[in-house]
Amino acid sequence: SILHRAAFTTSAARLDQLPPPGAPEICFAGRSNCGKSSAINVLANQRRLAFSSKTPGRTRLINMFGIPDPLAPGEQLGYLVDLPGYGYAAIGKQAREEWAEVLGAYLRERSSIAGVVLLLDIRRGLTDLDRRLAEWIAPTGRPVLVLLTKADKFPYGQRIKAVHAIRKQLAQDIGALHVIPFSATHRIGLEEASAHLENWISP
Ligand code: GDP
């Protein structure tokens, strides 16, 4: 997979610190502890590309991982963008609002977003914060891939039920929606997710 070539390029605490919009960006959003960094790492086939929300100090940033273009040295085919996890209980209200602002502004305004990967813990489903995020994405018309993470915690039948439930909740607002059960530890849905994301970068 071309995603395996992803390498760290930039961190930004604010939107004005990001490089100007260029190659297509696949951004990853989800609550703290939803399994976002595990998912990015297994998709990129690397142990420590993205950092867990448990890693202090690393996760308030927008981290960009470039996928180098083999035919044009120094240029990127696209980016994986790790957005700050939200909903972490132990931080103050003000910090939470700041994060929400950065996330909302990025999702609404960044012109180079090719699609958004929304990660939801399969046991928890869609929370209020996830809905808020979906409300920001919907008017942009960008495609959304929902990964129902930690799917190994559910037997097959329950996974399918969860997929249907989430589809029902989001399909009305999000035109191009794809929902799959995913597990970083058990590699469930890995090939399907990879293929889907590669297609966003080079259709
Ligand atoms: P992040 O904070 O969203 O980046 O989440 P992490 O990737 O750090 O994962 C949070 C917790 O969930 C960790 O304890 C992981 O070991 C666990 N986890 C992540 N992915 C999976 C998975 O696919 N299956 C299971 N069972 N646990 C997972």
* Bridging pattern class, strands 76-82 and 62-68: antiparallel
Q: Confidence band (pLDDT; 50, 70, 90) for 47?
A: very high
CATH code for position 89: 3.40.50.300
Nearest CA to ligand 1 atom 22: 150
Ligand 1 closest atom vs CA 41: 7
Give the residue from 117, 83, 133 showing the smallest Cα distance to 193: 117
Cβ-contact 111, 21 below 8 angstroms? yes
For residue 186 the two structure tokens come to 């058990």
User: Which pLDDT tens digit goes with each residue over 74-85?
Assistant: 999 999 999 988
Count structural domains, the chain.
1
pLDDT average, residue stretch 80-103: 82
Question: With 80 as the cut, is the pLDDT of residue 60 above it?
Answer: no
Give the Å distance between the CA of 79 and the centre of ligand 1: 22
- At residue 54, the pLDDT reads 76
Question: With 80 as the cut, is the pLDDT of residue 92 above it?
Answer: no
Instruction: Give me the count of residues in the chain.
Output: 203
- The binding-site residues of ligand 1, defined as CB within 6 angstroms of any ligand atom, are 30, 32-38, 52-54, 85, 149-150, 152-153, 183-185
Pairwise CA distance, residues 63 & 79, whole Å:
10
Nearest CA to ligand 1 atom 5: 35
Pocket probe mutation, ligand 1, options 28, 32, 38, 119, max atoms within 8 Å of Cβ:
38
pLDDT average, residue stretch 124-150: 95
> Which position has the higher pLDDT, 86 or 180?
180
pLDDT average, residue stretch 152-160: 98
Cβ-based neighbours of 99, under 8 Å, separated by 6 or more = 60, 84, 86
Q: Please state the pTM of the whole predicted model.
A: 0.95
Q: Confidence band (pLDDT; 50, 70, 90) for 101?
A: confident
- At residue 89, the pLDDT reads 67
Ligand 1 closest atom vs CA 31: 3
Residue carrying structure tokens 């083999």: 70
What residue numbers bound the domain in which 23 lies?
A: 2-201
Task: State which amino acid sits at residue 112.
Answer: S
What phi and psi, each to the nearest 5 degrees, are found at residue 100? -60, -40
In a 3-state reduction of DSSP, which class is residue 25? strand
| Reported ipTM | 0.99
Q: Confidence band (pLDDT; 50, 70, 90) for 13?
A: confident
Question: With 60 as the cut, is the pLDDT of residue 125 above it?
Answer: yes
pLDDT average, residue stretch 60-69: 92
